[in-house]
Structure 1
Amino acid sequence: MLPNPMPGDLDPSRRCDMVELAGVLAPRHGYNPTALDSVRILRTEAVLHDIPVLYKPGAVFVLQGSKQGILEEEVFIYDEEHYLAVSLPVPFRMTSTASPERPLLAVYVEFDMQMAAEIAIQVEKHAELTSDKPRSLVSSRMATDIEDVLLRLLMALRSSTDVAVLGASILRELHYRVLVGPQGGAMIAALQQKGTSGKLIQSLAWLRENYGCEIAVADLAREVGMSVPSYHVHFKGLTGSSPMQYVKAMRLHEARLMIARQSRTIAEVAASVGYASPAQFSRDFKRHFGRTASEEMKWVQRHLGEPA
């Protein structure tokens, strides 16, 4: 089995140090970039309800406040005592709690998938792995060893020299700690890409690169050697969505990014993500996010700085 460190007694003083450091590194509302491209820190005072999100593979560590995600009626808590690990990008709904007196502060770490795969190989060599099924999202109890790495990461981010010398090694250790945590077996199974699940994961990777193209489920199923009904069943089991629902969510979230950056017209954005009809794009966008594209642009800028 994978080593499974117990959460232990989390150190309140260490948590206070992390909150203080994160507050300095994230002075403005929304997502704050850091000296490491794969690390962002979110600060928000808003209470958010039922917000559509689609995270890239990585982990979210909430230092203050709380979030919860809902996928297919399953609830994933990520708060001051739990973190969220994402092995596959899937659309889900999110709710968060914060206030002006106690803003939500969260560290978002995007995984280096090549590094994660290399670590998974090393873990396989030295640990007896359980045969976990790949899971797209997993919420786990925070452990003292992960808190320790997070504290060192936040401390390093204050200094460009520390980032240059220590940043890569701290990120590698954080990848490792997540991969040997309670959700490690499910995440490593996703990285291994074996069997039927492996074929689906490869299919998901292709969709992420080609979401703007014309896509037919029959072609996707044929490419992985499945019947269309079988592909539908396995795809929904892994992602919580049908193939075309997943493609639509990918297109709309990518469009949201483009709209927030104000670099293209709505019609140009619609065409670039695979919509032949701007009117259909506008209808789908409002149905998914609950706001028109222009309303969403203002909402994102006010609450997030840039989309999640």
Structure 2
Amino acid sequence: MKCDDLPCQADRLAPLAGYNRTTLPGLRILRSETVLEDVPVLYRPGAVFVLQGAKQGFLDGKVYRYDADHYLAVSVPVPFRMASQADPEHPLLALYLEFDLQLAAEIAIALDAVRETAPARARSLISSPMEPIMRALLGRVLAALADPQEGAILGRGLLRELHYRVLVGPQGDALRAALRQRGPAGRIVESLGRIRENFTAVLSVPDLAAAAGMSVPSYHAHFKQLTGTSPVRYIKAMRLHEARLMIARNHGSVASVAAEVGYQSASQFSRDFRKHFGRSAMEEARWVMWHLNDTTA
């Protein structure tokens, strides 16, 4: 039977609950039959295209919809809360694109050379309307994923076009502003990279502010503006999410993982973990494997 609409195409490519890997790097298809409420997530930079069902992201008092009519773009890793709607008869189906940051930067630079746009404020999360040209591109991407020959020959070009369409989309200016790493927002983006590389070490806000060339009050203000949270809470979320994946991968005992991500007290780690995820570390690890079928989310 011919399959023309996006949900049908995705359904055939994602037979398993959780994340289904594809033949193209950075692309996964999520299948979920569960209603989720108030789930902490930390997405890598990229875009999420919900083809069936609906999701909402909650950050700093704002709601970001990503459903059949909207997609979510993420410029920097930022912790937020998520809810989704799905059921066994109509599972949530979503295509996840993890940005190739070098490719995204190359496209952003090329766009700056040929377009004159007013400076935009960098944003970490952006919900954009699903335009017909994007919907058509997603259909071509899914068709290529279903055909090994097309995927091998056309796949890389389609990935480049997908990056391009996100960066020139309705709110692409705000997304490119974060990727350019210029001005105060650029220094915060660089600081987020520094945190990501050193989150297991002792990190002080004055040291992070100094490395970014900012006063502590200015660093706090610009950090909150981009991420929706404070530096201390961001570092804690980064440690907890990394620990979640390590435990799901059977990396070691809860105590050893707590120490590895920078906690000096295993009991404090357990309290923080339960407060953040609503479950113990082991309960959360089992939930990740059962619902996501993946240890990279």
Q: TM-score range by the shorter chain?
A: over 0.9
**Residue in structure 2 matching 1:42, options 23, 26, 30:** 30
In 2, distance between residues paired with 1:203 and 1:294?
31
Scaled by the length of structure 1, the TM-score of the pair is 0.93
Could you tell me how far 1:55 is from its partner in structure 2? 0.4
Query: In 1, are the aligned partners of 2:19 and 2:29 still within 8 Å (CA)?
Result: yes
Q: Which residue in the other structure is 2:120 paired with?
A: 132
The equivalent residue for 1:31 is: 19
Residue of 240, 244, 253 corresponding to 1:256: 244
Show the counterpart of 2:5.
17
Amino acid at match of 2:126: V
Q: Which letter maps to 1:94?
A: M
Please report the TM-score for the alignment, with normalisation by the length of structure 2. Answer: 0.96
3-state SS in 2 of match to 1:280 = helix
Mark the runs of 5 or more structure 2 residues left unpaired by the alignment. none
Instruction: With a CA cutoff of 8 Å and minimum separation of 6, indicate the structure with the bigger relative contact order.
Output: 1
CA displacement 1:185-222 (0-9 Å, x = unmatched): 01111111111111111101111111111111111011
Mapped partners of 2:206, 2:180: distance in 1: 25
2:107 to 114, 119, 129: 119
Amino acid at match of 2:104: A
Q: Mapping of 1:66-77 within 5 angstroms?
A: 66-77=54-65
Task: Indicate the SS of the match to 2:128.
Answer: strand
Equivalent runs, 1:59-70 vs 2, <5 Å: 59-70=47-58
Contact 2:251–2:257, Cα closer than 8 Å, also in 1: no
Does the 8 Å contact 2:9/2:143 carry over to 1? yes
C-alpha distance in 2, partners of 1:69/1:233?
22
TM-superposed deviation, 1:130: 2.4
Specify the SS of the correspondent of 2:146: coil
Return the alpha-carbon distance in structure 2 between the equivalents of residues 272 and 109 of structure 1. Answer: 29
Q: What displacement does 1:263 show?
A: 2.9
Q: Which amino acid aligns with 2:105?
A: A
| Whole-angstrom CA distance in 2 between matches of 1:215 and 1:147 | 43
Q: C-alpha displacement at 1:179, in angstroms? A: 0.5
Deviation at 1:142, TM superposition (A): 0.1
Are 1:276 and 2:264 matched, yes or no? Answer: yes
The structure 2 residue matched to 1:285, chosen from 269, 273, 296, is 273
Counterpart in 2 of 1:4?
none
Amino acid at match of 1:41: I
The alpha carbon displacement at 1:298 in A equals 1.7
Cα RMSD after superposing both structures: 1.4
Counterpart residue number, 2:96: 108
1:297 aligns with 2:250: no
Contact 2:57 2:83 in 1 (8 A): yes
Q: Any idea what the Cα deviations from partners look like across 1:150-191, whole Å, max 9, x if unmatched?
A: 111111112333222211110000000010011110111111
* Percent identical residues: 58
Whether contact under 8 Å (1:221, 1:228) holds in the other structure is yes
- SS of the residue 1:222 aligns to: helix
> Residues 206-245 of structure 1: matches in 2 within 5 Å?
206-245=194-233
AA of the residue aligned to 2:23: A
Q: Describe the SS at the equivalent of 1:88.
A: coil
Deviation by residue 1:228-287 (Cα, 9 ceiling, x = unmatched)? 122111111110111010011111111111111223221221122111221111111101
The one-letter amino acid paired with 1:92 is F
Once the two structures are overlaid, the 10-residue window that deviates more, 162-171 or 57-66, is 162-171
**What is the identity, as a one-letter code, of the residue corresponding to 2:197?**
E
Distance 1:233 1:82 in 2: 29
How far has the Cα of 1:294 moved from its partner?
A: 1.0
Contact 1:257–1:306 (8 Å) recurs in 2: no
Q: 2:179 aligns with which of 177, 182, 191?
A: 191
Could you tell me which amino acid in structure 2 is paired with residue 116 of structure 1? A
From 79, 85, 96, the equivalent of 2:67 is 79
> Are the aligned partners of 1:85 and 1:183 in contact in 2 as well (CA < 8 Å)?
no
Contact map agreement 1:84 1:137 (CA 8 A) in 2: yes
Letter in 2 for 1:63: L
